[in-house]
Structure 1
Amino acid sequence: MLTTTDITSTVHEQINALLKEADKPVRLLTGDEPLARIGLNSLLLARLIIQLETEFGVDPFEEDYVISDVRTVGALADAYVETLANLAAASV
């Protein structure tokens, strides 16, 4: 089972991979940074969500979360942490 640290690290890695691909600055991310401020426009955010769904096998925005309410790196990671935890609890 993935830990919170594993999930958060993967989210950060995927964000930086997209930023690098888009020729935007790559940096050490913190949870309170707004997604827009680090350079994620709506197209990059959509691509990120697709990549994270492929990585984790879940899309928290399908039912549990509204993407427009997720404004920071930490909130995005938390959406995946909580969705994966809920799935794990439901399968017990």
Structure 2
Amino acid sequence: MLTDTAAKDAVMGEIKEILLEDLDENAAAIIGHEELIALGLNSLMLARLILRLNSVFDTNPFADETVSVADIRTADQLVTVYTRSRSAGRPV
């Protein structure tokens, strides 16, 4: 079973990787409640982040359209949708 801590670590890790790749910035201070746009993620980076998280969690919480990507503002919200999707057994 995926714990909230493991899910948060995975999401934060992927965000940090994308920020390092695209902006060459260290995002070590991400807590989770910051808005993704404030961290420096643009729409293309968010799309890449979601593709990576779909692979990491082996689920796509946006596939059945009960959750919209447009409603996601923070890393904590990403953790929540991925853990719920994984618990519900939604495939990629």
Relative to the length of structure 2, the TM-score reads 0.88
Amino acid paired to 2:63:
E
| Number of aligned residues | 88
Amino acid paired to 2:85:
T
2:28 counterpart residue number: 27
Q: Deviations over 1:7-53 (max 9, x none)?
A: 11000000000000012342221221001000110000000001111
Confirm or deny that 1:12 pairs with 2:12. yes
1:30 match: secondary structure:
coil
1:29 & 1:87 partners in 2: Cα distance?
Answer: 28
1:36 match: secondary structure:
helix
Preserved contact between residue 24 and residue 39 of structure 1 (Cα < 8 Å): no
1:48 counterpart residue number: 49
Amino acid paired to 2:54:
E
2:73 counterpart residue number: 71
Preserved contact between residue 19 and residue 40 of structure 1 (Cα < 8 Å): yes
In structure 2, the gaps of 5 or more residues are: none
1:84 & 1:26 partners in 2: Cα distance?
Answer: 26
Aligned-pair identity (%): 35
The two structures, once aligned, show a CA RMSD in angstroms of 1.4
1:57 & 1:75 partners in 2: Cα distance?
Answer: 18
Relative to the length of structure 1, the TM-score reads 0.88
